[in-house]
Structure 1
């Protein structure tokens, strides 16, 4: 059998179940750390509940993903997860799920592993969102999840540092209201509202135009030009303000 015939025969088994995102559908990639609880608590112990070094590794990983060939207009990270919103007109790899999933998981794993100086792995899945409002709702969901997880984590680890066992700490905060969890932290002289914003709301990444000073050798003059720059926002808004924030990013990138 000639190679071309063999190639055609076998390639169908590789591509028979390819799924592509239809035109006009928003794509959000959700990238999660695989086994990061063990990785960050046992293999490479980080400070709990939040570690600046781990935060910075995640920031650098998102920045890498937003510069690795895809048209990403917004990135978001909280804990060990990353969400990326693509330009509505992104058509790289014909919008095939398997290409986006494999490339983004591989790029994230490679970048984070280099920063960690150890092995780390991420998985990826593509969310197909048929309208702008669902995109806003998606990021609102992750933003509010960050707040909930942060409050729980601060309560849990404060109790653990007070010699509560894992089971007892979990049981104590189980079923507590938000107000009760805030009161628990306050009993340890911790005001949750005063904690760093990035711990409670996650971190956003988006492109902005900035003035760049240069020199024109032809006119022998200093000139100002516009350059696109990636903004790392560690003080994201919440609730309705965050929804408007996401809506504005979509509109500014002409993907209405």
Structure 2
């Protein structure tokens, strides 16, 4: 019956890097049922960071980027011999279970993440993450915009008023009402990055009887990402 397994041997291109993008399933209704704070619930984002750290420990990626209920994982060492069916199923289930373990609350129903694989060349990596960071900014502007309008109008009226407004219109509306998005925390505007950095460790070399400096890598959570540039990603490789 092995031959009945659809796409079981479909693999990513040899010697390629991949991005795995995960999205929370029906997290809009999840947020409503959980009563998450608007426009940003810091407890939720703390959990997402812990999930990303778990993913980093498990799959050793180059870089992880998260905003909203989305996680993008840049991998060079591809697990499971590149089998797409295996990667998608294991990473999605690992993410869902990590989220449930790190979230210290009861859920209205089981949570799930979906997973998709994007093979990339080195020259595509900046374009991909810049695209997602631009989406994080749109999320931020729209999130603050609809939150403000709902404080003044009913949900249906607020949705009607925000429809058709572009980002600069919403930005100006907020500014005219005392909300300056330039003052909002960077992670809300640009997302959160997780990657390895080196730290200096000073030890004592008994053989040479002197202090010795070495460097150890650690998982760094970057809440103050710059606007992505090609140089940023070149430094990660």
TM-score by length of 1: 0.84
Q: Please give the per-residue CA displacement for 1:204-246, whole angstroms capped at 9, x wherever unaligned.
A: 11111111244566677654321111111111122xx534312
Q: CA deviation at 1:188?
A: 2.1
Structure 1 spans left out of the alignment, 5+ residues: 1-9
Matches within 5 A, 1:160-179: 160-162=150-152, 164-179=153-168
Do the aligned residues in 2 keep the contact of 1:216 with 1:222 (CA within 8 Å)?
yes
Do the aligned residues in 1 keep the contact of 2:8 with 2:85 (CA within 8 Å)?
no
Q: Please give the per-residue CA displacement for 1:30-72, whole angstroms capped at 9, x wherever unaligned.
A: 0011111111111x2110010111110010001110111x230
Q: CA deviation at 1:168?
A: 1.4
1:145 is matched with which residue? Answer: 135
1:27 aligns with 2:18: yes
1:132 is matched with which residue? Answer: 122
Task: Give the length in aligned residue pairs.
Answer: 233
Task: State the SS of the aligned residue for 1:151.
Answer: helix
Do the aligned residues in 1 keep the contact of 2:8 with 2:83 (CA within 8 Å)?
no
Kindly name which structure, 1 or 2, has the bigger radius of gyration based on alpha carbons: 1
2:97 is matched with which residue? Answer: 110
Matches within 5 A, 1:237-248: 237-238=226-227, 241-248=228-235
Do the aligned residues in 1 keep the contact of 2:22 with 2:92 (CA within 8 Å)?
yes
The structure 2 residue matched to 1:229, chosen from 199, 214, 218, is 218
CA RMSD of aligned residues (A): 1.9
Task: State the SS of the aligned residue for 1:67.
Answer: helix
Q: Which runs of 4+ in 1 moved over 6 A?
A: 217-221
1:206 is matched with which residue? Answer: 195
2:55 is matched with which residue? Answer: 65
Shift of the 217–111 alpha-carbon distance from structure 1 to 2, 3 Å rule, reads: farther
Do the aligned residues in 2 keep the contact of 1:28 with 1:126 (CA within 8 Å)?
yes
1:99 aligns with 2:89: no
Do the aligned residues in 2 keep the contact of 1:109 with 1:122 (CA within 8 Å)?
yes
2:35 is matched with which residue? Answer: 45
Identify which range, 143-152 or 214-223, moves more after superposition. 214-223
